[in-house]
Amino acid sequence: MNARVRQEFERIHGHAPEGLWAAPGRINLIGEHTDYNDGFALPMALPQTAVLAARRRADGLLRLHSAQGDGRVTELRVADLAPGAVPGWARYPAGVVWALRERGLPVGGADLHVDSAVPAGAGLSSSAALECAVAVAYEELYGLGLGRPELARVAQYAENAFAGVPCGVMDQMASVCCAEGSALHLDSRSLEVRQVPFDLAGHGLRLLVLDTRVKHDLADGAYAALRAGCERAARLLGLPALRDLGEAELPGALGRLPAGLVPLVRHVVTENARVTRAVDSLTAGEPEALGPLLTEGHASLRDDYGVSCPETDLAVEAANAAGALGARMTGGGFGGSVIALVPAAATADITTAVTTAFTQAGFHPPTPLEATPSQGATRLA
Ligand code: GLA
């Protein structure tokens, strides 16, 4: 992959790159729709990364090329970058450069070529991988002195304000901060992180990712509406964010909310508590105890938060019926991927069972991949 990315860069841009960087996609083990409520999450990096070759330019141009694009080079003037002005995949890398300049940082142009193995549209944060690869490359090339959490904030700002997606910070934090062999206990308010060892192989377990290849159109508007609902609930309760509501105070708080906000708040509060329980299980060396938490989290996303869909529900049901320890949708929802914690020996049977259930339901069979906790963004060469 590295040699190919370097060669392609030279073919397209006519000179050698100054370096190669990689940033991964992620799955989230538990803690869904909690990040924009200042809450907790437990993502881990996938082995699949976006690999970026880059070289600074002195003329203020940003020249972007993607192995997954249409073959054309997108040429932009850094000084003219503005939200909404760049369409397609190029808005993610361009947004990061724009966001760095918005912070008053002295960044200029660059030649970039990216080749990503993170499946797009699968809920595995392919856009965050792309943003974070550019963020770490620019950090080094332009000597910005930004720490990893600051780079994640820059990438999130690019996605929010430049690409117009009102996401939280989890995907970008996972992509820049994860460590091999660990899940990342993230506090989305302080951006404090703790690496929690997650030894699947040592416990005879595997983590199966089933990409349903479904992406429902309502995703963007629905995500923004859910986020707005949570923020409104926090205001009504007189709290800075729903993170500040504990499980013990939940029954009293729910009684003070309009009926429409009750299930949202119940999901966020119980989900934050599930993150704590999951971290405790991993810390105690009992990863199999994650299983029931995954399935509970899925029920909460399905019944209270309303972000699952028939395909993700069926994948969870079929995986569990075939012997998974637990399963849930991962990411924003409305399609995307399901993760299942499975006994290693049962991986093939569980995959087959889900495929059969999908075929019987008239759905396209999901694409399986195996997730191992991998390292966050890094320089390759
Ligand atoms: C998407 C967003 C994240 C997070 C998840 C839901 O992946 O990009 O910030 O809100 O949805 O947990």
Domain of residue 214, CATH code: 3.30.70.890
Average pLDDT score over residue span 252-266: 98
- Structure confidence at residue 216 as a pLDDT band (50, 70, 90): confident
Q: Are 192 and 38 in contact (CB under 8 A)?
A: no
Q: From ligand 1's centre to the CA of 167, what distance in Å?
A: 6
The answer on 206 and 178 residing in a single domain is no
In 3D space, the residue among 202, 209, 203 whose CA is nearest the CA of residue 43 turns out to be 209
Query: Does residue 170 line the site of ligand 1, with CB under 6 A?
Result: yes
Q: How high is the pLDDT of residue 215?
A: 86
Q: Could you read off the pLDDT of 3-23 as tens digits, one per residue?
A: 999 999 999 999 999 999 999
Residue 262 shares a structural domain with residue 339? yes
Check pocket membership of 100 for ligand 1, CB cut-off 6 A: no
pLDDT band at residue 180 using 50, 70 and 90 as cut-offs: very high
Residue 200 pLDDT > 80 = yes
Q: Which residues contact 249 (CB under 8 A, 6 or more apart)?
A: none
Query: Which domain range does residue 32 map to?
Result: 2-195+375-379
Q: Does one domain contain both 256 and 211?
A: yes
Residues 170 and 245 placed together within one structural domain of the fold: no
331 shares a domain with 186: no
Separation in Å, CA 199 to CA 186, 191, 323 = 19, 24, 20
What local confidence, expressed as pLDDT, does residue 28 receive? 98
Expressed in angstroms and rounded, the spacing between residue 12 Cα and the centre of ligand 1 is 34
Rounded to the nearest angstrom, the distance between the alpha carbon of 212 and the centre of ligand 1 is: 17
Task: Provide the pLDDT for residue 264.
Answer: 98
Q: Per the structure block, which two tokens stand in for 228? A: 């707005």
Q: Count CB neighbours of 303 within 10 A.
A: 12
Ligand 1, residue 32: give the atom nearest the CA.
Answer: 12
Ligand 1 contact via 33 beta carbon (within 6 Å): yes
Output the CA 227–ligand 1 centroid distance in Å. Answer: 10
Which helix (H) or strand (E) element contains residue 163? none
User: How does the average pLDDT of the chain come out, rounded?
Assistant: 97
251 and 348 share one domain: yes
Same domain, 137 and 250: no
Closest CA to 151 of 167, 166, 173, 130: 173
Which of 167, 231, 243, 272 maximizes ligand 1 atoms within 8 Å of its Cβ, making it the mutation to test the pocket? 167
Q: Does residue 68 sit in the same domain as residue 181? A: yes
Q: Taking 70 as the threshold, does the pLDDT of residue 219 lie above it? A: no
Question: Do residues 378 and 21 touch, judged by C-beta distance below 8 A?
Answer: yes
Atom of ligand 1 nearest to the CA of 41: 12
Residues 68 and 216 in one domain: no
CATH of the domain at 122: 3.30.230.10
Give the number of domains in the chain: 2
Residue 378's region, left for phi above 0, alpha for psi from -120 to 50, else beta, is beta
Asked if residue 43 has its Cβ within 6 Å of ligand 1, the reply is no
Q: What is the pLDDT of residue 1?
A: 82
85: Cβ contacts below 8 Å, ≥ 6 apart: none
- 160 and 227: one domain? no
Q: How confident is the model at residue 184 (pLDDT cuts 50, 70, 90)?
A: very high
pLDDT of residue 220: 76
Rg of the Cα atoms in the chain: 21
* Residues 175 and 203 placed together within one structural domain of the fold: no
DSSP for 184-206? EEEETTT--EEEEE--SGGGTEE
Let me know whether 134 and 207 are in one domain: no
Instruction: Retrieve residue 204's tokens.
Output: 């005879």
Testing ligand 1's pocket by substitution, the residue of 159, 171, 184, 227 carrying the most ligand atoms inside 8 A of its CB is 171
Question: Residue 303 pLDDT more than 80?
Answer: yes
Q: What is the pLDDT of residues 59-92, one digit of tens each?
A: 999 999 999 999 999 999 999 999 999 999 999 9
Q: Annotated catalytic residue: which of 35, 38, 111, 171?
A: 171
Asked about 171 being catalytic, the answer comes back as yes
